[in-house]
Structure 1
Amino acid sequence: MPASADLPLLCHPDSPEPAVRALAVGARVLPDGGLALVWRLAGDLAALRIPSAATALPPERLWAHTCFEAFVGTPDGAAYREFNFSPNGQWMRFDFSGYRERVESPVLPAPQITLHCAGDVLELAVRLGAEQLPPGELCVGLTAVVESAGGRHSYWSLRHPAGQPDFHHREGFALALRVPTP
């Protein structure tokens, strides 16, 4: 799947969320080798639990609440990086040497995160610097976890592998991008 201005995220069939009318993400490689991502969630926002700036969450569990995520790997390697972005402005990065095999993450500069809500649309924009990404060809999984006011979770992705929701599965890394090499 090539880069596009607006890629729809699909709700996993086992976790429908009627309060969400649409969820999409835009992705583009920046001239400096960084990556700009913009998630747009449209729906009944009052029926969803959306962490506010006043809500501090455990950074390693941002995904347990409404959270926007990017999984970045390369076509020829097993290693990948997971980014979690909360609407409250918090973020977390995890590095993996292979499927769910977590390794220590180097200290890197924080991404730029901006939240904008207007009416029934929430927009979360992220700019990842080139230092956060491997150079060359990328395989990217763009996802979201949406928590309802009642505590249910729905799982959204460009592509879901068979079975239960699993954002770490390489079949979900459906977006191909090319980052300039230095």
Structure 2
Amino acid sequence: MQLVFHPAHLPLAVRSLEARIIGFDADWLRARWKIMGAGSLVVPPFAGKGRADGLWQTTCFELFLQPGGGPQYTEINLSPSERWNVYDFESRRKGVTERPMPREPRCAARLGTDMAIFDAAIPTAGLPAAPWRCGFTAVIEESGGHKSYWSLVHGSDAPDFHDPACFIAEVAAPSGA
């Protein structure tokens, strides 16, 4: 799925960003983000595995999962530094708690001169039951601290990945479950 940058925060060199689920079974949800024009991409250095807050302050990748028809949703933050976090929200930006995870997500970044790929594997047992409405997002930092905000859609004058209007991808229950 093609992500679009927020028009108030234009990228410098990044030309496109795609995101998709590349596998989903009873053990893992695997997602991939592909960046074209990644020559000036700022990639946070390895920081050791583990939970961390504020990952969105530099290049990071996010998934929003909204099961059923209610206002609840789960936010998954993944960094090339291999730091991560998962939050549950009762409704838009309200009632946030850290979601327990049975094991850590796995993250890997591959960088080329013009293309970068970020892969993540998230333990299915730590996620809400599918099916979901899903939002793929990314904060992309380029040289000089310049940031652009990417999502499937943007619904307001300022980037807001928590806007339920951004959760437009439909994801069925995993295979083999």
Length-normalised TM-score, structure 2: 0.89
- Aligned with residue 105 of structure 1, among 98, 121, 145: 98
SS at the partner of 2:56? helix
Residues 118 and 152 of structure 1: CA distance in aligned 2, closer, same or farther (over 3 Å): closer
Q: Return the alpha-carbon distance in structure 1 between the equivalents of residues 22 and 70 of structure 2.
A: 22
Length-normalised TM-score, structure 1: 0.86
Query: Hey, what does 1:53 align to over in structure 2?
Result: 46
Residues 149 and 78 of structure 1: CA distance in aligned 2, closer, same or farther (over 3 Å): same
For residues 107-130 of structure 1, what are the alpha-carbon distances to aligned partners after superposition, in whole Å with 9 as ceiling and x for unaligned? 212112122112221111111121
Q: Aligned AA for 1:133?
A: L
Q: Aligned AA for 2:53?
A: E
Q: Decide whether the 8 Å contact of 1:34 with 1:133 is kept in 2.
A: no
User: What is the Cα deviation at residue 103 of structure 1?
Assistant: 3.0
Query: Hey, what does 1:84 align to over in structure 2?
Result: 77
Map of 1:141-160 to 2, 5 A cutoff?
141-160=135-154
User: What is the Cα deviation at residue 25 of structure 1?
Assistant: 0.9
Q: Return the alpha-carbon distance in structure 1 between the equivalents of residues 23 and 70 of structure 2.
A: 20
- Aligned with residue 170 of structure 2, among 169, 172, 176: 176
SS at the partner of 2:55? helix
Q: Aligned AA for 2:150?
A: W
Q: Decide whether the 8 Å contact of 2:109 with 2:119 is kept in 1.
A: yes
Q: Return the alpha-carbon distance in structure 1 between the equivalents of residues 54 and 149 of structure 2.
A: 15
Percent identity over the alignment is 31
Q: Decide whether the 8 Å contact of 2:132 with 2:171 is kept in 1.
A: yes
Q: Decide whether the 8 Å contact of 1:21 with 1:43 is kept in 2.
A: yes
Aligned residues: 175
Query: Hey, what does 2:155 align to over in structure 1?
Result: 161
Q: Return the alpha-carbon distance in structure 1 between the equivalents of residues 61 and 97 of structure 2.
A: 22
User: What is the Cα deviation at residue 28 of structure 1?
Assistant: 4.1
Q: Return the alpha-carbon distance in structure 2 between the equivalents of residues 101 and 175 of structure 1.
A: 22
Map of 1:13-92 to 2, 5 A cutoff?
13-32=7-26, 34-45=28-39, 47-53=40-46, 59-92=52-85
User: What is the Cα deviation at residue 29 of structure 1?
Assistant: 4.7
Unpaired segments ≥5 residues, structure 2: none
